[in-house]
Amino acid sequence: MTIIYAVIMGLIQGVTEFLPVSSSGHLAIFSGLFHIETPGLLFDVLLHVGTLVAVFLCFYRDIGKLLAELFLMIGDVFKNLNIWFSNLTSEDKRPYVKVVINGYRKFDVLLIMATIPTGIIGVWDSSLVEKMNAILLCPAICMMVTAVILFLCDRIREGDKTPRTTLYSNAFLIGIAQGIATLPGISRSGMTLTACLGSGFKKNYAVRFTFILSIPAILGSLIFELKDVDLAVIAPSDWLCYIIGMAVAAVVGFFCIRVMLVIVRRQKFLPFSIYCFAMGVVALVAWLVQR
C-alpha cells in the first residue's frame, strides 16, 4: 500500500460516510466498474475509526453529557432494583426513583431504541448485503432509491420535536430506516435524516440524532469485523499508511459533518439527489453492458 492510496481511501471514506451519497454504494460500484480490490480488513476498520473520531470531535459536548447521564441512569436502575427487592419483604413500601428525568436521558433511551432494530437488521441481512455487493445491478438500483429519498427530504417541512417530545416509536422507526441503509447504495445519513425530519424533528436535532446514532452502528460493525483481523499479515511498512488513511478520514469527515449541518438547515439535497441518480444510471448501464 502507498501513502497516496491511503490518502485517497481516507478521503473517499470521510466524504461518503457523512454526505448522503452512500459509502457502501460507491465501493460496490467502483469495484464492479473498475475491478478495484477492496483494502485490507484492518485498514477498513481503521477508516471507520477515523469517521468515529470525526463524530466525537463535532459532538463532543453532547456525547460527554449523554455518557454521563447514561451512567447515572444505570445507577438509578440498580437503585430501583434494590427498592423492588426491599419492598418484597417490607411493609413500608418505598417509592421508586424516576429514571428518565431530563432531555439527555431521554436522548439516551431513544438512541437505544433506535439501535435495537438497526442491530437486528444488520445481523439478519449480512449475507444478503454480501451477495448484493457482488451484483452491480443492486447498488445501481439502491443509489437511485437514495436519489428519490433525498428528493423527498428536500420537501419535508421542519417539525418541532425535541428529545423530550420524541416518541419511542419514532426512534424505533428511525432505527429500522438506518438498518435498511446497510444495503449497498442506500445512504445511511440520507435515510436516517429523512426518517428524522419525517418524524417531525427540528432540523438541528435531526442532525445531532443522525450522527450520534451512527456511533453504536459503526462500533457494532467494527466489533463484527475485528474478529476476522489478522495482525500477523500486516507489513510493518503499511502501518504508517493505515494511520494516515485514518487521519484523513477523520479530518475530512469532520468537515463533511459541518457541511451537512448547513445542508440540512437550508434543505439543499437536490444536488446530491441528482448525483446519486446519475451514479445509479451509470452503474445500471455498466451492468447491462457487462451481461
pLDDT tens-digit map of 91-133:
888 899 999 999 999 999 999 999 999 988 887 877 777 777 7
Q: Which DSSP helix (H) or strand (E) runs through 187?
A: none
pLDDT-derived band at 225 (thresholds 50, 70, 90) equals low
DSSP for 88-139?
A: HH-SSPPPPPPS--SHHHHHHHHHHHHHHHHHHHHHHTHHHHHHHHT-THHH
Average pLDDT, the chain: 85
| pLDDT reported for residue 283 | 86
| pLDDT reported for residue 229 | 64
Q: What is the C-alpha to C-alpha distance for residues 288 and 126, in angstroms, rounded to an integer?
A: 26
Q: Is the pLDDT of residue 208 over 60?
A: yes
- The single residue listed with the C-alpha cell 442532525 is 207
pLDDT-derived band at 171 (thresholds 50, 70, 90) equals very high
Grid coordinates in use for 263? 445542508
Q: What is the C-alpha to C-alpha distance for residues 252 and 85, in angstroms, rounded to an integer?
A: 52
User: Could you tell me what percent of the chain has a pLDDT over 70?
Assistant: 91
Residue 94 phi/psi, 5-degree rounding, is -85, 145
- Burial (CB count <10 Å: 0-12, 13-18, 19+), residue 253: buried
| pLDDT reported for residue 230 | 64
| pLDDT reported for residue 61 | 93
Q: How far is CA 223 from the centre of its chain?
A: 15
**pLDDT mean over 191-213:** 92
| pLDDT reported for residue 75 | 95
pLDDT-derived band at 37 (thresholds 50, 70, 90) equals low
Domain ranges of the chain: 3-75+103-290
Greatest Cα pair distance in the chain: 79
Q: Is the pLDDT of residue 226 over 80?
A: no
| pLDDT reported for residue 106 | 95
Exposure class string for 37-47: b at 16+ Cβ within 10 A, else e:
eebbebbbbbb
Q: Is the pLDDT of residue 170 over 90?
A: yes
The structure's pTM equals 0.85
**pLDDT mean over 262-278:** 87
Residue 161 phi/psi, 5-degree rounding, is -75, 140
| pLDDT reported for residue 228 | 66
